[in-house]
Chains A and B, each alone.
Chain A
Amino acid sequence: MTAALLSVRGLCKSFGAVVASEAVTLDLTAGECLALIGPNGAGKSTLLAQLAGALAPDAGQVLFEDRDISRLPAHARALAGLGRTFQTSSIFPEFTVLQNVMLSVQAQSRRSFGLWRPAGGDVRLTAPARAALEAVGLDQRAGLPAAELAHGEQRQLELAMTLAAEPRVLLLDEPMAGMAGADSQRMIEVLRGLKGRVALLLVEHDMDAVFALADRIAVMSLGRVIAEGPPAAVRDDPAVREAYLGESEDQTGEGEATDAAS
């Protein structure tokens, strides 16, 4: 059939009167980066939650390698190779930075019934975890409680946790949100390094990052995908300019300023 690694077919989700996903259909091929943009409330996070299995769709299907995973629980999708980061950092505040990432390695190892040997001294967990921390530039912070990380560092930690699982599809919900310039540059570099190996579905408001990384762009508005195509074509699409980019291009500088301030 298609060469799509992850295929979304007619996904629908409503919260009462709010239609968060309206017949969303998207394909993600192996190794590509598809950026998903759209104004706040467009339904991007809700879509990612349904792909990851945290939220059940009202209708429609999600295919992963042509297999219908619509009914698989979140943990089974994660083990199948679907990684995810959250819009607001979702970490384990009482654990150290290293332990956070070790937990991700442990999940993939599928061996968690150990009752006797301390997990902390297990190199099968620590070695891959340290490698993932190094990849995102957080290795100096390994011993710190995760709660003590700065906001931007928590975003990096989240990415490290997801990377340590060696996913084949990565769902990223605004990974640069609230990051300072240098940190978000570093994040862009890390994500660029994944291109070709991992399929990325990148939800992001930072247009510099989107145009630096995306092979294709899909635009959502009010629960629907209103445009999809190569970056240049999407940028020039009149419907998109009206719904989103036109207004956003004027405000890009402003938006970044508020991001940096927050």
Chain B
Amino acid sequence: MTRVLLIAAAFGLLALSPLAAWLFDDPFLVTLFTRVVILALAAVALDLVLGYGGLVSLGHAAFLGIGAYTAGILASHAFDGSAFMTWPFEIGGSAQALVTWPLAMLTGGLLAAVLAPICLRTAGVHFIMITLAFAQMLYYFFISLPRYGGEDGLVLFARAEFPGLDLGDDVTFFYLCLILLGGYFLLARRLVAARLGMVLRGAKQNPGRMAALGFPLRRYQLAVYAISGAGTALAGALQAELDLFVSPTLLSWHQSGELVVIVLLGGMGTLIGPVFGAAALVLLEEVLGRFTEHWMFVLGPILVLVALFSRRGLLGWLEARLSR
């Protein structure tokens, strides 16, 4: 019950957050909250595999990056009217969000589906290492593509077009991102209670027993990994639209680590926890960043405290307070 209240509170506060920009007369706050929403989307997607599947993916930046590059590359071709590929058939660019975002999800999902059979052969520390390694490979791949900016990244000239909406308006873009987060959150929440989610959670607790019961585990884990990859890639595409810039740093291991930190800080295996985690991290970075460049110094101890005093991060702490 407290869980439902906290979900309502999280989405309610996010929906009201543009008011803060208006109150403080600081339009930059809208951009800041959009960043919260986008990171939350990626972290909720990561929580599916990390919190519910027990699969510690330290390579989710790969999906964020592939989503951002998919949207960015298509947009850049649309902008200069060139073709993305001409053989065996011609594919041009696109500036339509309804084309580029679903394609970003598709490439993210496909990438996950291709990597998962290899990664899922391993477990524990090896799984962490192999997901990290694949993300690094992708990082160097995109750095080596001068056509798409190489190390400097790819600059976009306008946000994608969306029927009936002007995404160039920051508040409109914010609410669209929030709706997408809500949609993905709903899907994830249904998933973990549905049959697929039961398999996922069972495999985390006792994989040997799952096999003895008759579950071919990997194909279900692969399915969830792909759903997670698609969600993270959508976040990547939105990040590209927000920044009007796609940088290879989206693919860096720092980025993967940040997503894991958000999930742990917010409370893994809760779905809504990562939304709180994303808000906390972005706001901490923003506030502390004003005082010191070394804000990570302060974040470290905070993470240690959360890990020490709450098994389920911020959310666990909030729930314990509220149910008292």
Contacts and interface: CB of A to CB of B under 8 A. Distances in A.
A74 to B, nearest CB: 4
A3 B193 CA distance: 44
Contacts of B196: 112-115
B195 A52 contact: no
B134 interface: no
Contact of A115 (B191, B205, B213, B215): B191
Interface string A61-101: 00000000000011110110000101000111111000100
B266 to A, nearest CB: 20
A102 B187 CA distance: 22
A119 B198 contact: yes
B214 interface: yes
Interface string A40-53: 00000000000011
Interface in B173-227: 187, 190-191, 193-199, 201-202, 205-206, 208-217, 220, 223, 227
Contacts of B217: 75
Contacts of A90: 206, 208-209, 212
Given A75-B216, A95-B202, A114 B195 contact: yes
Given A92-B205, A93-B205, A95-B205, A116 B194 contact: yes
B190 A115 contact: yes
Contact of B208 (A54, A113, A115): A54
B208 to A, nearest CB: 7
A112 B202 CA distance: 12
A20 to B, nearest CB: 18
Given A79-B214, A118-B193, A112 B199 contact: yes
B214 A75 contact: yes
Contacts of A161: 213
A245 to B, nearest CB: 31
Contacts of A7: none
A102 B213 contact: no
A136 to B, nearest CB: 16
A106 interface: yes
A75 B214 CA distance: 4
Given A54-B208, A76-B216, A112-B196, 20 more contacts: A53-B211, A74-B212, A75-B214, A78-B212, A78-B213, A86-B212, A92-B201, A95-B201, A103-B213, A104-B213, A107-B215, A112-B195, A112-B215, A115-B187, A115-B227, A116-B191, A119-B193, A161-B213, A165-B213, A165-B214
